[in-house]
Structure 1
Amino acid sequence: MPEQAEPGTAPSDPGAVQAEPGTVRPGGRTARVRAAVLDAAGDVLAEQGFAHLDLADVARRAEVGKTTVYRRWGSDTGLVADLLADMAEQSLPRTDTGTLRGDLRANARLVRRTLADPRQGALFRAVIAAATCDDKTSAALRRFYEVRVTEWAPCVEQAVRRGELSPGTDPAAVVRAVSAPLYYQLLTAGSAPTEADADQAADAAVAAAEAGVYTV
Structure 2
Amino acid sequence: MSAAAPLGRGPKVRAAVLAAAVDELSEHGYAAFTVDNVAQRTGVHKTTIYRRWSDRDALIADALADSVAAEIPVPDTGSIDDDLNTLARSLVAWISSPSGRAVLSVMVADTAGQPSPPVSARHVFRDRIRTALPVVTRAIERGELPPGTDPAELIKTLVAPIYFRVLITGETVDDRTAAAAAAVAVTAARAGLFT
TM-score range, shorter chain: 0.7 to 0.9
Alignment check: 8 A CA contact 2:23 2:99 kept:
no
Question: Can you give the 5+ residue segments of structure 1 that lack an aligned partner in the other structure?
Answer: 1-27
- AA aligned to 1:50 is Y
**Secondary structure of 1:156's match?**
helix
Range that drifts further, 58-67 or 79-88: 79-88
- After TM superposition, the structure 1 = structure 2 runs for residues 104-119 of structure 1, keeping only pairs within 5 Å, are 104-117=84-97, 119=98
TM-score under structure 2 length normalisation: 0.84
Residue-pair matches, total: 185
- Distance verdict in 2 for CA 1:127–1:193, change over 3 Å: same
- AA aligned to 1:126 is S
Q: Which position in structure 1 is the counterpart of 2:67? A: 87
Q: What's the RMSD between the two structures over aligned residues? A: 2.1
* Deviation at residue 147 of structure 1 after TM alignment: 3.1
- Distance verdict in 2 for CA 1:33–1:162, change over 3 Å: closer
Aligned-pair identity in percent equals 40
- Distance verdict in 2 for CA 1:124–1:140, change over 3 Å: closer
Among candidates 112, 119, 123, match of residue 138 of structure 1: 119
Alignment check: 8 A CA contact 2:69 2:128 kept:
no
Among candidates 33, 38, 44, match of residue 53 of structure 1: 33
- After TM superposition, the structure 1 = structure 2 runs for residues 64-213 of structure 1, keeping only pairs within 5 Å, are 64-91=44-71, 93-117=73-97, 119-130=98-109, 134=116, 137-142=118-123, 144-213=124-193
Question: Can you give the 5+ residue segments of structure 2 that lack an aligned partner in the other structure?
Answer: 1-7
d(CA) in 2 for partners of 1:148, 1:131: 21
d(CA) in 2 for partners of 1:120, 1:106: 19
- For the pair shown, the structure with the greater C-alpha radius of gyration is 1
Q: Which position in structure 1 is the counterpart of 2:3? A: none
d(CA) in 2 for partners of 1:88, 1:214: 26
Map Cα deviations across residues 6-53 of structure 1 (whole Å, 9 max, x no partner). xxxxxxxxxxxxxxxxxxxxxx93222212211111111111110010
